[in-house]
Amino acid sequence: MAGGSFGPTGVAKERAEQYQGKVTSYVIIACLVAAIGGSIFGYDIGISGGVTSMDEFLDQFFHTVYEKKKQAHESNYCKYDNQGLAAFTSSLYLAGLVSTLAASPITRNYGRRASIVCGGVSFFIGAALNAGAVNLAMLLAGRILLGVGIGFGNQAVPLYLSEVAPTHLRGGLNMMFQLATTLGIFTANMVNYGTQQLKPWGWRLSLGLAAFPAFLMTLGGYFLPETPNSLVERGLTERGRRVLEKLRGTKNVDAELQDMVDASELANSIKHPFRNILQKQHRPQLVMAICMPMFQILTGINSVLFYAPVLFQTMGFGGNASLYSSALTGAVLVLSTLISISLVDKLGRRALLISGGVQMIICQAIVSVILGVKFGDNQELSKGYSIVVVIFICLFVVAFGWSWGPLGWTIPSEIFPLETRSAGQSITVAVNLLFTFFIAQAFLSLLCAFKFGIFLFFAGWVSVMTIFVYFLLPETKGVPIEEMTLLWKKHWFWKKVLPATNHEAESNNNSSI
């Protein structure tokens, strides 16, 4: 495989053993600053559920839900079922879906930093609008701008991290994005826990504080170095070399730079990356770009994190207890992501995804059984069973945090060749936000319709995705990002799907003579 030409995709040679360099403070700082982009995504996930359970917020913007919440005879599973309330949460993700597609040409033509700055500015303005909202229209306008910020940030930040990180630590450093996301969720939960005491304006502070990570993201995007891959792709090869030398801490970067040059020559010959990504030679990457983010959302994690306070109140926890319980799940998510960062480049991606999937299935099944047997309309869980439910939800979050949480972003960001990398990341983010939108919009209705079966619904999907990983996802640990296309040619299934290369076709012709 090593010397074969890959025609119109990827680089031609394996040079991984020639890569040199070390982990420098420069690369660590760059990754930490860039990963702040994940915190805005996480903060919003965490803040939305808490705010939508605050009585003052509901009374001002969703009075029908507020009245329904106060009615004791209302079904436990249905008291928050309102499409307007769901739209408050989900409108952001629809806006993000559209904006991430617009971000792709900006990321490709102007660099990863440009999209990071655009995302930060938009999110900052959206947070200000939300904090000062006086009617539903103003509230939704702010949410849409937050969505634009997330669309740009989620498109550019994982790419930035994958391109800056050295090959042997790419998994762990790329997960800085997910770590920042989980820290954002935890921070939001703690903010909600404090602001619920500040009546009647505590919800404004919760929403307005989103401006702080947005400011840091904008500032970081302005001062960060551009990735060497992006500089080389835009014809700034010498500047790209200087940045690469700083990142790797050595002058001997010829092999890695040559891979970038080869990839950029091919990338610049592709004028329509979205059209090119549909070609057969990119089929494995396209399938992963669609399935990985789709499966990440269908674990049910966003439902737990979006609506954790609502979910715990539905189960009979008091207002304070529900926010405290959701803060606990946020803290657990942070800790489990740290576990993943330490293990991903040792155990590999597949082991974490499969083990995490099995644990999530078990936890969801147990929670569903407890709720089905011990919890129904107009009754609350006993204290003992409530604690058991929280424990197994936390174990579910732990499993997600070391598997599908970070790897749902890491794998798609590292598998595409340079010519389709920006387009591929846009598809990944768009699919993630599309399914986030569907689940956010439908979850309260699904909870009302399925009741305890909602956890079995998600457990079924986790079973499907675990089987998918076992059979169709090759191990990407330790494979250089510009040589990733070679991996698919060695996989038992994808090598049958990919078209024959010129080298292989010639070999076949020679063997038949």
Q: Is residue 112 within 8 Å of residue 422, measured between CB atoms?
A: no
Average pLDDT over residues 86-90: 72
- Give residue-wise pLDDT tens across range 150-171: 889 888 888 888 888 887 777 7
Residues 59 and 65: their CA atoms lie apart, in Å, by: 8
Instruction: Name the residue with higher pLDDT: 489 or 466.
Output: 466
Residues 27 and 18: their CA atoms lie apart, in Å, by: 20
Residues 278 and 10: their CA atoms lie apart, in Å, by: 15
Q: Is residue 267 within 8 Å of residue 109, measured between CB atoms?
A: no
Q: What is the DSSP secondary-structure string of 328-366?
A: HHHHHHHHHHHHHHHHHHHH-HHHHHHHHHHHHHHHHHH
CB neighbour class for 321 (10 Å; exposed up to 12, middle 13-18, buried from 19): middle
Confidence of residue 421 (pLDDT cuts 50, 70, 90): confident
Q: What is the DSSP letter of 482?
A: G
Is the per-residue pLDDT at 505 higher than 60? no
Confidence of residue 75 (pLDDT cuts 50, 70, 90): low
pLDDT value of position 496: 92
Q: What is the DSSP secondary-structure string of 226-284?
A: PPHHHHHHTT-HHHHHHHHHHHHTSS--HHHHHHHHHHHHHHHH-S-HHHHTTSGGGHH
Average pLDDT over residues 327-348: 86
Burial annotation 116-139 (CB, 10 A radius, 16+ → b, else e): bbbbbbbbbbbbbbbbebeeeeeb
Residues 185 and 253: their CA atoms lie apart, in Å, by: 38
Is the per-residue pLDDT at 174 higher than 60? yes
Confidence of residue 121 (pLDDT cuts 50, 70, 90): very high
pLDDT value of position 4: 32
Q: What is the DSSP letter of 318?
A: -
Of 431, 403, 428, 399, the C-alpha closest to 415 is 428
Is the per-residue pLDDT at 467 higher than 80? yes
The mean pLDDT of the chain is 81
Residues 157 and 36: their CA atoms lie apart, in Å, by: 9
What percent of the chain is predicted at pLDDT more than 90?
20
Q: Is residue 486 within 8 Å of residue 1, measured between CB atoms?
A: yes
The whole model's pTM is what? 0.76
Is the per-residue pLDDT at 302 higher than 80? no
- Give residue-wise pLDDT tens across range 210-255: 899 899 888 888 888 888 888 888 888 888 888 888 888 888 877 8
* Residues with Cβ within 8 Å of residue 437, at least 6 apart in sequence: 90, 93, 94, 97
What percent of the chain is predicted at pLDDT more than 70?
83
Q: Supply 77's token pair.
A: 């599973």
Q: Is residue 337 within 8 Å of residue 179, measured between CB atoms?
A: yes
Is the per-residue pLDDT at 427 higher than 50? yes
Least confident stretch, 339-348, 440-449, 450-459: 440-449
